[in-house]
Structure 1
Amino acid sequence: MLTEYTYVFAIGTFFALLEAYNNGANDVANAWATSVSSRSVTYQQAMVLCLIFELTGALTVGARTASTIKNGIIPIAAFNGNAGVQLLAFTCASAGAAIWVMWCTRNSAHVSSTYSLVSSIAGVGVAAVGASKVEWGWNGGSGLGAIFAGLCMAPIASGIFGSVIFSLIKFVVHVRRDPVPWAVWTSPFFFLIAGTICTLSVVYKGSPRLGLSDKPAWYIASVTLGVGFGLFVLSAFFFVPFVHAKVIKKDYTLKLWDFFQGPLLLKRVAPADAEFAQVPNYAVVQHSGDIKRPGAKAEAAMSDADTKEITVVDVDTSSEERPAPLHENPREAYRLLLAQAREQHHEELRQKKGPLGWAMRTLHNNQLGAGSIYELHNLKATLVRIPAQIVVGALYGMSYDIHRAQVGVLGTPEGRRMDRVYSHAPKYSNEVEYLYSFVQIITACTASFAHGANDVGNAVGVWAAMYSAWSTGETVGSKAPVPLWQIAVIALTICFGFITYGYNIMRVMGNKITYHSPSRGSSMEMGAAITILIFSQYKLPVSTSMCITGATVGVGLCNGTFKAVNWQRVGLLFFSWVMTIPIAGLIGGILMGITLNAPGY
């Protein structure tokens, strides 16, 4: 054991976990933003589902891309058997990726944590062993050439898969004269696709722990298709009768646990007034929500009965204290909208019971006063605020309303641009979209499984290499297994990042690329999941963010015009992905160069 490097391993562990935390706050948040923006699930429901399926994907498939991260970019032989240098290299790589992604997440900038880590490893490799020894080429699908090829390949593949799936929905369901029955009876096909893809990712080149790594082709095909068609049959017996009663009969008395009645629900008699029941209006464009501006009167508020619908607030323009028009000072007006929306949300939280309400009231009542931090009144306030800040940091995200936080749309240049984009997207039947809100839960869980299968392997690769070098005193071997407990720790850290800080990315991503709805969102998530799992099979780390963005663009183009996509937002995202490569690489390389060449005693 390299006891003299224990402090390096401790620092490396910290940055590896921080990188995983930022992965959850950035990449996972972007993946779930599709479902939350489509209003198929709430942010709170997404937290629970994310925890379950991220862990499932990580523990069954997740270590597959770890070998590429550990060995594919910097060859083991380049370290000449010096485990200390290898430990330091992966510590600096984790630090470089974590610093860059953390800064971007804090500023609500969307980047790829996967490419941040890969680029940081490349920069570290240049500083540690020289540019000539870094695998810049294909390297059997494990080098930087293969990984960076995914920068274009993954979004394009996701866009193709997503557009094909949505085109099938569009022409099989949406364009029908009576689309609701078609939507109900075809919904089991999503279970078939999801079950087949997820099972194939586990069985094909499967985990050695499950004894699946060397199974014959007939076994792989039979197990994969058996599970897929098994879910198809189960969904036909249980899911179809449930949504039939919920959507076609509009039985508003139906509870979730009635799902287990199966075919008996087909004979269930709906209440006499069920025909007058209304489903959520998924065509509502989410602008600024119920924001109380100075001089504004809330003419409408969020409905308690239907929290999925956003109401628009009328502004009392006769008031002398009305805010300045946005065109006079758009930047200040935009910041004012953000501040007002945030303060209104905080005011509502302060009125709640429980730990979060107490913490928000404590912070509000103990604000720092005039003078420096060392002033006595500020020191007292700081001591009182510390416990409350810890509680807020842990619980704030669990009560966040993503829709009401998507302000800055109405009346701004971006808002006008989004209105133009939305106008080119047909608004389909609310009953059909309501049904696909149930389907999207399945596709979102599949996407989360895929993320756990891919990104957890990326994050755990460097930590596994550090742990192996520290615990054995030798450079990690190319075939060294990744301990299951390390995969579980990284997966939990990713989920914790999404739960506590994912809202910071989701509130700015939302549906700013194209118009979202449950049927569109289902196609986006399934297209991205298929792409991620395919790349994971061949040990190619890809960005979940890039895949969901590519699928979103592909589905947006299915509206029949390029104008249905916000190309400015897509361009900004692509620019951030490209700039991640040199910036993360420079941060990792500089850290490695400084620490490796620092004077010693």
Structure 2
Amino acid sequence: MPLHQYDYLLAIGTMFALLDAYNNGANDVANSWATSVSSRSVSYRQAMVLGTIFEMLGAITVGARTADTIKNGIIPNSAFRGDAGVQMLAFTCALAAASSWVMWCTRHSAHVSSTYSLISAVAGVGIATVGAKNVRWGWYGGKGLGAIFAGLGMAPTAAGIFGAIIFSLIRLVVHVRRNPVKWAVFTSPFWFLVAGTICTLSIVYKGSPNLKLNKKPAWYIASVTLGVGFGIALISALFFVPYLYCLIINKDTTIRWYHMFLGPLNFKRPKPEGENNEARVRDYAVVQHDPEMSPGEKTLSGVESPDDETFKQLPPAALGGYEDGSNNKITATPATLAGRGLESQQLSYKEIMARNKERFHAKLRQKRGPLGWAMRTLHNNPTGEGEIYEKHNIVAFIKRIPAYIVCGALYGLHYDIHAAQSGVSGTPEGDRMQRVYSHAKKYSNEVEHTYSFVQVLTACTASFAHGANDIGNAAGPWAVIYTAWKTGNAAAAKAPVPIWQLVFLSATISLGLVTYGYNIMKVMGNKITYHSPSRGCSMELGAAITVLVFSQYSLPVSTSMCITGATVGVGLCNGTFKAVNFQRIGLLLFAWIMTIPVAGTLAGVLMGIILNAPHFMA
């Protein structure tokens, strides 16, 4: 049977729906977990595992079974006049434009909201399809463009205020005390109460469209949320506090995580002998240098100047080059570049960055397993001289193909997120972050360790709520395309979302988080201000409260924008603007603002060209 034109639209729309979900994981979800990774409450791999589990749980178990076909009512459903083809084309163009823009931004480590990208793309499609006058620019009960874009400024500001209030409370109750360790241990159930209550409300109001918990009476919601909060606080008081007492206060190095289940019996554990014991907890300090880097390699600080031998150890592509008048490629060396009038300051920066990247790749090549094999294969089979169609280059390219696939799947899991966030030592960016960190007060690892558990709870809940709610960003347009293709008519105001679509989309979101999320994580978190678990849990709680408040007034907000605003608010609690990297904030704001015209224009132009292209009837 020959393929119908709708079949082509379904295939293309499905491809871009999956790409949009992939970008959602690589951009939005990665940004949500960047705070926990930056604070070292979880490792990067642990964040990938937990993020995958809770994103898929939220999407599949309580994710949306129906989706708004017009994406928050931006385009009136009557605009399509029952034409399934135009409706399928409209949402295919919107998905194509939004996913392309977010993918480009992710590739260049520019964080943007996939939600706002898709909304802007739908608005652009609406202008091209029915004209600007038929697009809902106003408030429209919190679903129009006016209400949606109002959250760009209000949500980050509110999240910053809430995050600052929570961290100020933690600092008042714990950090300024004479014995902050004991205060941190014995007040931890209170923070579990706060986190448990807020996280439960997040699931009720943002992550339960299928369970319809938000439709229950107020007394029911209050009873459930407070019951869960007090239940978690009680469990932490019975099991968590005794365990922390032995681990942190008594500094018992023999206690293990499974001893936590002994509960109050841990109070009777004998205190270890000796007064010089150190608590067996993670070091939460942000490290800016590679322990294996010698002082002479920090050339930008003036310790050592580059020489010819230094450059010979680096691949030419790492330092670049230039073309002479005869279009010949000249390798960059101190002598040749000095002749071109280039300053040694620029050479030193390139040298540091190239050495840092090469050192990291050398470590990967020494690893066992698939990634080590792939990195060695790429290293041992470089592209030679001549064009790509030369025999030796074709052979090398064929050998490199499976290695490229393996690296694409596993490279992110081994990426050094913390080194990337703090900046390479000796570079302008590294020096800038060192100045930012110097204005943040550092607290003891024993105190910070207490809040790492609270932060893991908030991060997992945020992923669950995100998977349940934001799965609709890609599921909504895809459900429209699928329903219109299946019925042959324009989809109604609500389109059913099959469970298999939720499975595919949630798996694709997790794939984006695992394989490409490092591009966003490396520029978030510590790239904005100094992170620690007590700061991190304040940021995530501040963002969660903001989402709850805005949800009550039917105002759609981006979770990623909220966590960014909360990060700035907590950073300002250090008492100076110098504790926040406002250069990074400026770049974020620029990316957010540019998302609206770029995604909207791309989608509108694409829709206009296809819709008005000359066509011929047989």
Question: Is the shorter-chain TM-score for this pair beyond 0.5, marking a shared fold?
Answer: yes
Partner of 1:230: 231
Greater shift after overlay, 398-407 or 207-216?
207-216
Partner of 1:421: 436
Map residues 53-92 of structure 1 onto 2, 5 A cutoff: 53-59=54-60, 62-63=63-64, 66-67=67-68, 70-92=71-93
AA matched with 2:147? A
Distance 1:353 1:480 in 2: 48
- Aligned pairs, number: 585
CA contact (8 A) 1:373 1:379 kept: yes
CA contact (8 A) 1:296 1:322 kept: no
Greater shift after overlay, 555-564 or 400-409?
400-409
Partner of 1:44: 45
1:517 aligns with 2:532: yes
Partner of 2:181: 180
CA contact (8 A) 1:38 1:282 kept: no
Partner of 1:265: 266
**Cα distance change of structure 1 residues 64 and 536 upon mapping to structure 2, 3 Å threshold:** farther
**Cα distance change of structure 1 residues 566 and 32 upon mapping to structure 2, 3 Å threshold:** same
1:447 aligns with 2:462: yes
Partner of 2:573: 558
Q: Deviations over 1:163-217 (max 9, x none)?
A: 1111110100101111111111222233223322333344459846436464333
Partner of 1:136: 137
Distance 1:218 1:168 in 2: 28
Greater shift after overlay, 349-358 or 192-201?
192-201
SS at match of 2:527: coil
1:358 aligns with 2:373: yes
**Cα distance change of structure 1 residues 161 and 55 upon mapping to structure 2, 3 Å threshold:** farther
Q: Deviations over 1:255-292 (max 9, x none)?
A: 22222222222222354358422556757443242465
AA matched with 2:228? V
Partner of 2:31: 30
Map residues 113-152 of structure 1 onto 2, 5 A cutoff: 113-152=114-153
Q: Deviations over 1:265-323 (max 9, x none)?
A: 222235435842255675744324246579649xxxxxxxxxxxxxxx99974996578
Partner of 1:162: 163
AA matched with 1:451? H
CA contact (8 A) 1:38 1:516 kept: yes
**Cα distance change of structure 1 residues 409 and 390 upon mapping to structure 2, 3 Å threshold:** closer
- Report the TM-score, using the length of structure 2 for normalisation: 0.88
SS at match of 2:40: coil
CA contact (8 A) 1:421 1:515 kept: yes
CA-CA distance at 1:96 after TM superposition: 0.4
Q: Which runs of 5+ in 1 are unaligned?
A: 298-312
Over the matched positions of the two proteins, sequence identity in percent amounts to 67
CA contact (8 A) 1:290 1:404 kept: no
CA contact (8 A) 1:124 1:589 kept: yes
Partner of 1:430: 445
1:547 aligns with 2:548: no
Distance 1:293 1:122 in 2: 54
Q: Determine which structure has more spread, i.e. the larger CA radius of gyration.
A: 2
**Cα distance change of structure 1 residues 479 and 190 upon mapping to structure 2, 3 Å threshold:** farther
Q: Deviations over 1:84-117 (max 9, x none)?
A: 1111111111110111111111112222222111
AA matched with 1:257? Y
CA contact (8 A) 1:456 1:490 kept: yes
CA-CA distance at 1:161 after TM superposition: 1.6
Map residues 167-566 of structure 1 onto 2, 5 A cutoff: 167-204=168-205, 207=208, 209-210=210-211, 212=213, 214-272=215-273, 275-277=276-278, 282=283, 284-290=285-291, 292=293, 296=297, 317=304, 328-406=343-421, 408-536=423-551, 540-566=555-581
AA matched with 2:35? T
**Cα distance change of structure 1 residues 271 and 139 upon mapping to structure 2, 3 Å threshold:** same
Q: Deviations over 1:123-176 (max 9, x none)?
A: 111111111111111111111111101101110121122111111101001011
Distance 2:422 2:567 in 1: 21
Distance 1:584 1:175 in 2: 47
1:98 aligns with 2:99: yes
CA contact (8 A) 1:62 1:456 kept: yes
Q: Which runs of 5+ in 2 are unaligned?
A: 312-333
1:581 aligns with 2:596: yes
SS at match of 1:137: coil
Distance 1:412 1:9 in 2: 49
Distance 1:104 1:396 in 2: 19
CA-CA distance at 1:236 after TM superposition: 1.4
Partner of 2:8: 7
- Report the TM-score, using the length of structure 1 for normalisation: 0.90
Q: Give 1:567's match in structure 2, choosing from 574, 582, 593.
A: 582
Q: Deviations over 1:509-541 (max 9, x none)?
A: 241221111111110111112323444566544
Q: Deviations over 1:443-483 (max 9, x none)?
A: 22233234324432223222222222222222222233433
Greater shift after overlay, 396-405 or 374-383?
396-405
Distance 2:379 2:260 in 1: 45
AA matched with 1:494? I
SS at match of 1:508: coil
CA contact (8 A) 1:108 1:504 kept: yes
**Cα distance change of structure 1 residues 127 and 530 upon mapping to structure 2, 3 Å threshold:** same
AA matched with 1:446? T
